Structure formats: C-alpha cells, structure tokens
Structure 1
Amino acid sequence: MVEVTQIVLILVLVILSAISSGSETALVSINELKTKTLVKQEKKGAQALYRLKKDPKKLLITILIWNNLVNISAASLAALIALDIFGSAGLGISTGIMTLIILIFGEIIPKSYATNNNEKIALKVAKPIELLSKFLYPITTPLMKLSDWLTRAKKNNIPIVTEEELKSIIEIGEQEKIIEKHEKEFMHRIIKTGDTTAREVMIPRNKMYVLDSNMSVEKAMNHMIKSKYTRAPIIKNSNDNIIGIIHLKQLLSANQEGQGQLNIMKIARKPIFVSQKEIVGNLLRELQLKREHMSIVVDEFGGVEGLLTLEDLLEEIVGEIIDESEDLSKSINKIDDNTISIHGDTEIEKIEEYFKIKLTGVKEITNINGLLHNILKDLPKQGDKVEFQNLILEVKELRDNRPNKVIIKKK
C-alpha cells in the first residue's frame, strides 16, 4: 500500500531536482566578469560564487552528481510505488510519468526561470553548492581526473571576454541606451589600439619638421616660431640621423637667459626610438611613463621611418584633435565686420581668405605668430600693437610665451 510519506518524498526529490537544474543554469550562465563585479559590490554570496567559478569543471561535476542522485532516487521510488499498485506493468507506467514530471518540473521550468534570474539565484545557491562540493570531494576528485584523462584536457589561457564579445557588449549597450553613441565610438577606438601599429599612425620621414644640429638657440627659435610646431627632432646631415629632440619652451627660456648663440644640442633631449611594429596602446603607456611627447619610429635595421607624437596616439582613442589653425570657423571669431579675434597659430592664408586681401612680403611666413615676430624683431608681448599693410594686429593674451589671442582689424 502506498504511503503518504512516499508521495511526499517523491515531491521533495522533484523539488531538489528543480533546484539542482536551476542552480546549474544560473551558475554556468553567469560569466567571470560579472562575478568579479558582484564581488566588488560586496554582494552576499559573491565570494563563494567567485570561488566556484574559478574551477568550473568541479562545479559542473558536483551539480551533475547531485542532480542525477535525486532524479534516480525519485524514479526508483516511483517505480516501487507503481509496481506495488499495477504489478509488472507499473514499471513502464512510472517511467513515463516520472520522465514527464522531471522534464517539466525538474528541468524546463527551473532552467527557464534561472535563465532570467541567474544573478539572483547564483548568489543564493553559491554557498550551499560550495559546501556540497566539499562534501562530495571524495567522489568529484577521481571523476575530474578521469575526465581530464579521457579528454586529454590542456590548460589554456582563455580570456574572460574576447575582443569580438566585447564589441558585441558595447553594441548591445548602445541599443539598450546604457551608453551613448560617442561613448561607443570611444570604446571601439580603445579596442582598436590593441591592433594598430606605430607605422600606421606615424608622420612619415619626408613630412617631418626638423631642425639642423648646427643651429643656434636663437636661429632655431626664430625658425620654430614661424612654423606651427612646438617640438622638433634635431638631425645631423640627414633625416635618417636624428640625434635630439627640442621643445620651443626650451629655446625661449635659453634665449631669455642670454644663451641665444648656444648650440641647440647643448639643451636638447635624447630622442626615444620605437619599433614601427610597436602597438599604439603600448606606446601611449611608454610615453606617459617617460614623460615624453615625441618618439622616433625606426625599422628593423634602425633606419628612421617617421615620428610619432602623443597627440597622434591620443587621436587614435578620442578621434581627431582639431588645432586652432586647422579649422577656419574655430580659429577666426568675428567681432565686427572689420575686426576678428584669432589664435596666434592661425595661418596667414586664412586671414587673407577671410578679409579677401593679399598680403605681400609674407612668402616665408606661415602664421600670425611668425608675422608678429618678423615685424617686432623680438618675441611678441601682451599688449604689443603693430600695423602691417592694411591690418592692425594687437596681442591680447599669451600662453607659453606665444600669442594665444590676437585681435586683427582691417583698416
């Protein structure tokens, strides 16, 4: 005769089967990255979850042992009850009924629920599963060794998230309105720096702005002021022989101290040489650690291929950095019909274009800084006001001893 306790025991075993199936789905589906986030958030159960995820094979074997034990026990008990009621036909009846019950209530429903609530469930069951894993240690250990032997498992350094998966996460983040479009583009650029080499972003050797090693401080300063650059490599005889790096601030400072006739190599810094195959992300970190803004790119034989600046590297992450002299609408601010405010690095051509004029005697001068220096025969100072042909130029603001804001009025 069927006892109530037998029915209750079967129900308990089915519930345990459901818990086991749900736990398996929740624990396996939650990734290591999410687990580390939960640990940082100090969620209850996160530490136990993290320990379980460190050994996924042991975790899976533990849950499978538990799940199979309760399923077999439930099926066996149901078979005994069915045989008692229906005789020899009871075995087939119990097998059919229990298969359906375990499939629906022990697998489909709990796994579906766990899929949608994996974090919540994983945190709740992590500690009990960890205790169960310790209890079943004598069984799980030989099974793990057998599994390793059969599959000839090798330990691989598999990343938590692959590059393609990370890109997919970013795309989903944008679709779900978690991140903005510009943030997505920023993240994609950061990922790309892991594949981009120095050769791909460098300024080629034939386009480098350089200074000759025989130049004096004063001559180099005047030369650089007329250019749009604040740093330059120093060459000896050819572009393939770079022996130093100089900053305009060094030249300005030395000249103000009365060292205008000093050779620039006396104050130059040693150049940093990097391989053309070096990854952009690594280069950015190297320049940051060495507190440098420029490096020389060389090939495998040491020949100069080009130069790379910190700005070039940053542009790979944040996009193009527009200089004041590169964009007419940003470098020229209209005050009235005949007056504008500009940055000192603004090219003379753009001033001519704006006022629809043609200046003479400026063929060798590229920007307003160079023009002011040429007129004044000295470094421009705040408040300096000069007339040049049909223009009046007034220095309103300096930055790093260079005109940062200049007012130009057409007569």
Structure 2
Amino acid sequence: QSGQEADILKGIVKFSDHQVKQIMKPRIDVVAIEIEENYSSLMTMVKNSGYSRIPVFEEDFDSIKGILYVKDLLGHTQEENDFKWQELIRDQVLYVPESKKIDELLKEFQSKRMHIAIIVDEYGGSAGIVTLEDIMEEVVGDIRDEFDEDQEVDYIQIGKDNYIFEGKTLLNDVCRIIGEDTSIFDEEKGEADSLAGLILEITGVIPKQEKEITVGKTLLKVISVNKRRIEKINVRKK
C-alpha cells in the first residue's frame, strides 16, 4: 500500500496549498434571502434553489444575519404567509478571510461542527461562501447536496444485507436501499450528508484502504481510496 499512501500524502500536500478563494462561490452566484422577505417568497426560493442552507442578509450581502437551514423548515411547510420564518435563523455565522487555507477551514468546520462559511475580502465585505461540500470535492470527490435528486444512486448488492456504495452516496439513499431508518447514523454523522463525509466525520482523516468502522447496526469498510478521494465503501448490516 506504500504507493497508494504516497499518492494520498501528495494529495493532502496539494490540497493544503489551496486558499478558500480558489473554491468559493462568489457573492454574485450565492442564493441568499433578505430578512424582510415573506414566507411565500422564502418557500419559492427554497424550492427553486434546491440548497439546504441559505444565508440571510439585511439590505445587502455584506450584512449577514445568519444561516437558514432548510431542514428547520420541514415542520413548517404549510404555514400562512405571515409566518415568522426569521425565528428559525441560526445566528452563528463563520467568517473566514479569502486567504485562509482550505485544510485549515476543513479543521474549523469539523471542530465547530459547521457546514458553511462566509468568505470576507480584504475590505471586510462578503466575497462569497464556501461549504463543506465544496471542500469535500477537493478531498473525496463530488458530493451531492442532500436535496439533489438529479442523479441515480450507483451501488452494487454483493450479498444479503451487503452492498458497495460510492463515497459520494447520500446517507438518506444508503438507508433507503439497505432498508434502515435514516436515524441510524444520526449520532455520528455531525453535519455529514454523504457516506464519505460520515467516515471523515468519525475518523477526522482520510482513512486507509480496508479501514473498518462500526456505526450502529452497520459495518463500513473502505474499499478504495484514490489519491484524495474515498471512492467506494462496503456497507454490511450486522
């Protein structure tokens, strides 16, 4: 495995040289909502954007008031238009400079159990955002957002209660396919949405091939790690 380990180390070194401004979504492309917008406008934006976390600003994007997690809206899908959705805003916002290294931001995301950061330019304005998914694209390959339903789930069933999934597979899809409730990963998953993200959340590092992790009723085994990516994971129900 020494060659593969060398590849992973090279990948981590390359990854650590990148600044967040190289992967951020610039403010002109950010889907965000003004805090005075009504509930109807908010729900239209949520449905049209497909994003699971939406920055909330006052007047302009330089004045961020917090982040709205769409999952906090799930119990409020049939409210009247005067519903005070603003009460659901999470006011803990992570601000980081454009020059911050990606690996440093990843550590900060993990330590603070946060999923999105506002990137600040040299003048103190909001330049854009970076999410955990953006970073994971650098580490473990493309990770679909939790409400992205455009792609079919790619997996192989190799026996009874025994499957091989791609690392980017969403945890909700894994649970549906193996016939388990989506809560089975709740204690360990933190802010992870994908299988690879769950493993990173638990281990804190890119694991070696053959690494096994027990989570609840399942045994997860890393099948292949290619350079900086957790590619395939064996999921077996115990």
C-alpha distance in 1 between matches for 2:7 and 2:40:
44
Shift of 1:204: 0.7
Question: In structure 2, which of residues 112, 118, 122 is the aligned counterpart of residue 296 of structure 1?
Answer: 118
Counterpart of 2:24 in structure 1 is 202
| CA distances 1:192-216 after superposition (whole Å, capped 9, x unpaired) | 2321111111111111011121123
Quick check: 1:214 aligned with 2:36?
Answer: yes
Q: CA deviation at 1:260?
A: 5.9
Counterparts of 1:229 and 1:192, CA distance in 2: 29
What corresponds to 2:50 in structure 1?
Answer: 228
Aligned counterparts of 1:227 and 1:294: Cα–Cα separation in 2: 16
Question: Alpha carbons of 1:186 and 1:229: their partners in 2 closer, same or farther (altered >3 Å)?
Answer: farther
Distance 1:259 1:193 in 2: 47
Pairing of 1:74-89 with structure 2 (within 5 A): none
The aligned amino acid for 2:140 is V
Residue in structure 2 matching 1:266, options 81, 87, 92: 87
For 2:54 and 2:108, the matched residues in 1 are separated by 19
Distance 1:259 1:184 in 2: 57
Pick closer, same or farther for the CA change 1:208–1:185 going to 2, 3 Å.
Answer: farther
The equivalent residue for 2:164 is none
**Which whole-Å CA distance do the structure 1 matches of 2:81 and 2:6 have between them?**
50
Q: Is the 8 A contact 1:296 1:306 kept in 2?
A: yes
Residue 209 of structure 1 aligns to a residue whose secondary structure is: coil
TM-score with structure 1 length normalisation?
Answer: 0.34
1:3-402 matches, cutoff 5 A:
173-174=2-3, 179=4, 185-255=7-77, 261-270=82-91, 271-322=93-144, 325=149, 330=152
Aligned length in residues: 154
- Cα gap change, 1:277/1:326 in structure 2, threshold over 3 Å: closer, same or farther? farther
Q: The residue matched to 1:261 in structure 2 has which SS?
A: coil
Structure number with the higher helix fraction is: 1
Higher RCO structure, 1 or 2 (CA under 8 Å, sep 6+): 2
Partner Cα separation in structure 1 for residue 8 and residue 142 of structure 2: 12
CA pair 252-218 structure 1, distance change in 2 beyond 3 A: farther
Q: Name the Cα RMSD after superposition.
A: 3.0
1:218–1:185 CA distance, 2 compared to 1 (3 A): farther
Name stretches of at least 5 consecutive residues in structure 1 with no aligned partner.
Answer: 1-169, 333-398, 401-411
Percent identical: 30
Q: Per residue, is there more strand in 1 or in 2?
A: 2
Larger Rg: 1
When residues 263 and 225 of structure 1 are mapped into structure 2, their CA distance, relative to the original with a 3 A threshold, is same
User: For 1:189-238, what per-residue CA distance to the aligned partner results, in whole angstroms no more than 9, with x for missing partners?
Assistant: 32223211111111111110111211234541332023221111112222
Deviation at 1:282, TM superposition (A): 1.2
| Cα distance in 1 for residues equivalent to 2:123 and 2:101 | 18
**1:218–1:251 Cα contact (<8 Å) kept:** no
